[in-house]
Structure 1
């Protein structure tokens, strides 16, 4: 992408108008819209993999992260001809299929990408995600909690990949075979969640209401359901340090890495060095485990 973006650029054969390229989106990091679009282009082979053919919700920050923001589910009007949409429950969602759509959304200051947990036209989950949600803004035990859940999954014969949410939490992703249902994943999620909360009652909670959690980490097995979203792997986040939701090695979890270690200014080098950690884990025998539960 050119160093200076003015007017219209061509991406994947599509002409896209770029406005205010020098507008600061992450002021503390010096990240302008131009830099952001360059980083999105670098992230695109990874981010698109987990957004394509899903219903997309974005969070837009027209004046950067320090300004007002809004969730956008319904596609804006008018739409470029190359942008596909899909209607679900009376909402006309954008389908993020390629780099042109990604750059177009980036120009609209869409700073976060939250895809559905199922493909368009399907009611089956794409993967299993456990969301570990801290009750405190800074939670020094989040990697300890992640490691505990990872150990439990391993004991069940499941390989998994932890990823930072890009905010304060961590999601643990288990690739699944086709045919697993959301209800089945809720069943096994409740099983694992109940186990870790009983074993570590000072660390985990299944309490949905934040005001009743104290300082405990919420083991959220309910967010993973049809119609809900979680931050996509490799999505940027509208946080002061321009963090990116980043898959981790389990040894990094053991080393107590911080979610703030992974951001727009260093993620490209990491991906060039490590590739997509999620892609390396095959579908796991979740269905068989669910069948064994009472």
Structure 2
């Protein structure tokens, strides 16, 4: 798939030896930045190494926007029918999940109007998490407070000897991702998240909360450590989002967080140049051994 003309001039693409039908290539998916389906498929080719890296071996929840971001959208866990033979399926709980592990599968989904890719936290292979994730959810869309919160979480993690990577959700929040050097259970990571969440909400009660009820948050920023669980999913690094600006969930440096980076600046139009310039910040992060901090928090819980 060398260029846009190939998408525009043919109804079929050949990728990895597979034939994929492309329908309505001129359909406008993101009107504001002027991204048509043909443009989007080209962007997916650029993002394929990264999306496959973070989605393969996980159960995919896709969010489809058949008529673009101005139309209706819906979540899809079951693989759409008819499912091509090249699409790998992972069944769980009666659901035929897609394992997004090839460019062919990615482009097939893109043609169906899948604009968001949300992999499961648990791996298909062993049901274990491959990383620890804290989801930071603002009750109000106020960037300075959100980035202040992210910076304080980063400082707290650093004080615990944990090197993590922040990323924009592509929507209103940010997520703090810690790659793992060895297997840990979801229960262990949830206890660590609870410790950190309560510590920060006690230290900065006007900024943070661990209250799940939106009403009870009273404008404070929610540290969601409960969502990191088997069967749950989160926006993948480098997934586009179905928002007017065509934002992309993007790993950041801590300097960018401290500088109050604007999540709306990380878009489909901009992500290619950023990756060429900075590389994949998450892939470059050193996996963390959490044994010592888990032992410490367990002793604190017993005290």
Rounded Cα–Cα distance in structure 1 between residues aligned with 2:259 and 2:44: 28
- Residue-pair matches, total: 294
The answer to whether 1:272 aligns with 2:276 is yes
Alpha-carbon contact 2:43-2:268 (below 8 Å) kept: yes
Match of 1:95 among 95, 99, 117: 99
Match of 2:194 among 164, 169, 190: 190
Alpha-carbon contact 1:115-1:232 (below 8 Å) kept: yes
The answer to whether 1:200 aligns with 2:201 is no
Alpha-carbon contact 2:143-2:260 (below 8 Å) kept: no
Unaligned 5+ residue runs, structure 1?
Answer: none
Shift, 1:214, TM fit: 1.5
How large is the Cα RMSD of the aligned pairs?
1.0
Unaligned 5+ residue runs, structure 2?
Answer: 299-303
Counterpart for residue 131 of structure 1:
135
Counterpart secondary structure, 1:197: helix
The answer to whether 1:161 aligns with 2:162 is no
Alpha-carbon contact 1:180-1:287 (below 8 Å) kept: no
TM-score normalised by L of structure 1? 0.98
Rounded Cα–Cα distance in structure 2 between residues aligned with 1:227 and 1:288: 27
The answer to whether 1:257 aligns with 2:261 is yes
Rounded Cα–Cα distance in structure 2 between residues aligned with 1:136 and 1:47: 29
Shift, 1:178, TM fit: 2.5
Match of 2:18 among 8, 14, 17: 14
Once the two structures are overlaid, the 10-residue window that deviates more, 210-219 or 26-35, is: 210-219
Counterpart secondary structure, 1:115: strand
Counterpart for residue 301 of structure 2:
none
Counterpart for residue 3 of structure 1:
4
The answer to whether 1:142 aligns with 2:146 is yes
Task: Report 1:1-294 matches (<5 A).
Answer: 1=1, 2-4=3-5, 5=7, 6-294=10-298
Shift, 1:34, TM fit: 0.4
Rounded Cα–Cα distance in structure 2 between residues aligned with 1:287 and 1:18: 49
Shift, 1:139, TM fit: 4.1
Rounded Cα–Cα distance in structure 2 between residues aligned with 1:172 and 1:222: 14
Alpha-carbon contact 2:87-2:105 (below 8 Å) kept: yes
Alpha-carbon contact 1:233-1:245 (below 8 Å) kept: yes
Shift, 1:280, TM fit: 1.2
